[in-house]
């Protein structure tokens, strides 16, 4: 049984503040989760549900928890964030501690964690994005070139390190987005949505002020393959149809791909895709028929080849043809090119995970190699090391996909726990709790980290300010602002 949480308490700026709690009972299995996003919380939830004698510490580099649920989900998709209630119940479980503002890999190493925890779960996701690898991508002569869609999403969602993002929404009326996924559609919708629509969401006021000055009236969303190979969903496309914009596409191409013998056979087994093509044909117009002030142009069969800076900025695309069946069609380049003038371009061609020192990593697939969530090195399982989420399988799927994936990793961990195969003989003594807290003190995590109680103060502040602006919340967009709300200062 677990008793009440015991807290190390200090008085800061006139109120008591809990630095960290000693929540691990004697003999409990100690688990460190690296990453406080959906994968980390779902893994913790499953472990807590399947075993009682366990203590879990969650380490997250941001001050707020929840990862991309907070900083990646579009502000006009509040229903996707309903999972936060489950995550909150995990964080408030007496067997769990939350260490925000803690960078594993710099402040504390994986080796440090492995020295005092029985198991380490790597769930830190994908914090980088894939590049296009074309000339001019990084800008020239003051022009911004190609901006990361990942960072653009983080900017309007209030991620502190994204607030100084260099972008251009005024020098031209067009933004080009390279990629045909849901993130690309989110970016297009934010750029074209009326401000009164966004003002009711938790988008930051800072982002609203920038968007209010935007001259963007047209978004060109470009993919290298055809309509049957897009990665976005019907739900995202339907949301675009609700805006007062012309949706433009090559309707002849869509109809031809859908009605070909190969396309027809493919769609018989892909009913969601069939419905999406129906939605696209119902709500789209040909370029010559577009009349509305704002336009969303969905382009197919074009690959970016370079960014040109001559009298402004343009993205040069090489046109493609498809070879092969729809389910495995390859884009083959032609000798034709199309230039699309724009204020800037966004790349949205996939996220990428980063390696951590001391952790096996597949540099080609950009994942931690694993078998059913158990980390492997040279074909052998690494005792006590697990991986979940995008770091485990690659940056694909939605939150529900991550939940199922995390549950499978947690099940493997619990199975190993029950078999006795993960207990570390070097850390399985009655002094284990003090060993963990000594390590946290030595690495300064105990001094610089932010607890879940601290986060609840920030959460309450954001909601209160949001209510005053008739919004769900107003996110704090700097670390110092968050620390001011907590009432303390920390070494950065």
291-312 pLDDT tens trace: 999 999 999 999 999 999 998 9
Per-residue tokens: 441: 């003190």
Write out residues in the chain with pLDDT < 50, as ranges.
Answer: 1-22, 427, 429-431, 491-492
Rounded Cα–Cα distance for residues 21 and 488 (Å): 18
Residue-level pLDDT at 434: 77
Residue-level pLDDT at 15: 32
The pTM assigned to this predicted structure is 0.91
Residue 59's H or E segment, with its range, is: strand 54-59
Residue-level pLDDT at 447: 86
Residue 488 phi/psi, 5-degree rounding, is -150, 170
Query: Over the Cα atoms of the chain, what is R_g?
Result: 24
Residue-level pLDDT at 22: 47
* Separation in Å, CA 235 to CA 65, 93, 384: 27, 35, 40
The CA-based diameter of the chain, rounded to the nearest angstrom, is: 76
Residue-level pLDDT at 1: 27
Residue-level pLDDT at 320: 98
């Amino acid at each position: 049984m677990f008793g009440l949480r015991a807290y190390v308490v200090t008085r800061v700026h006139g109120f008591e503040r809990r630095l960290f709690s000693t929540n691990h009972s004697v003999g409990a299995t100690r688990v460190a989760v690296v990453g406080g996003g959906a994968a980390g919380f779902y893994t913790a939830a499953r472990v807590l549900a399947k075993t009682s004698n366990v203590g879990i510490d969650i380490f997250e580099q941001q001050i707020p928890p929840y990862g991309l649920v907070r900083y990646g989900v579009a502000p006009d998709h509040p229903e996707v964030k309903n999972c936060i209630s489950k995550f909150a119940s995990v964080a408030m479980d007496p067997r769990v501690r939350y260490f925000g503002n803690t960078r594993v890999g710099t402040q504390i190493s994986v080796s440090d964690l492995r020295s005092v925890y029985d198991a380490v779960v790597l769930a830190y996701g994908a914090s980088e994005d894939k590049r296009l690898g074309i000339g001019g991508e990084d800008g020239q002569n003051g022009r911004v070139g190609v901006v990361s869609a990942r960072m653009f999403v983080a900017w309007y969602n209030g991620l502190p390190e994204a607030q100084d993002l260099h972008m251009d929404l005024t020098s031209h009326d067009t933004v080009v987005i390279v990629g045909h996924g849901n993130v690309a559609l989110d970016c297009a919708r934010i750029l074209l949505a009326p401000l009164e629509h966004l003002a009711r969401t938790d988008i930051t006021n800072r982002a609203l002020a920038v968007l209010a000055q935007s001259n963007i009236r047209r978004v060109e969303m470009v993919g290298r393959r055809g309509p049957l190979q897009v990665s976005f969903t019907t739900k995202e496309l339907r949301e675009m149809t609700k805006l007062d914009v012309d949706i433009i596409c090559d309707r002849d191409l869509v109809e031809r791909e859908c009605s070909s013998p190969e396309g027809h056979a493919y769609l018989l087994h892909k009913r969601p895709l069939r419905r999406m093509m129906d939605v696209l044909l119902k709500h789209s117009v040909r370029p010559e028929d577009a009349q509305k002030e704002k336009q969303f142009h969905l382009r197919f069969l074009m690959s970016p080849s370079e960014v040109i800076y001559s009298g402004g900025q343009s993205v040069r695309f090489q046109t493609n043809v498809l070879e092969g069946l729809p389910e495995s069609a390859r884009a083959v380049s032609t000798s034709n090119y199309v230039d699309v003038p724009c204020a800037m371009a966004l790349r949205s061609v996939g996220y990428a995970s980063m390696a951590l020192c001391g952790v096996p990593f597949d540099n080609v697939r950009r994942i931690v190699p694993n078998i059913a969530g158990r980390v492997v090195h040279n074909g052998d399982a690494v005792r006590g090391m697990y991986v979940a989420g995008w770091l485990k399988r690659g940056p694909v799927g939605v939150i529900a996909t991550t939940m199922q994936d995390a549950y499978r990793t947690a099940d493997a961990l619990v199975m190993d726990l029950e078999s006795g195969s993960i207990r570390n003989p070097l850390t399985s003594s009655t002094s284990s709790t003090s060993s963990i807290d000594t390590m946290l003190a030595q690495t300064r995590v105990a001094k610089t980290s932010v607890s879940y109680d601290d986060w609840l103060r920030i959460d309450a502040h954001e909601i209160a300010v949001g209510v005053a602006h008739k919004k769900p919340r107003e996110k704090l967009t700097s670390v110092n602002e968050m620390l001011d709300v907590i009432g303390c200062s920390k070494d950065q």
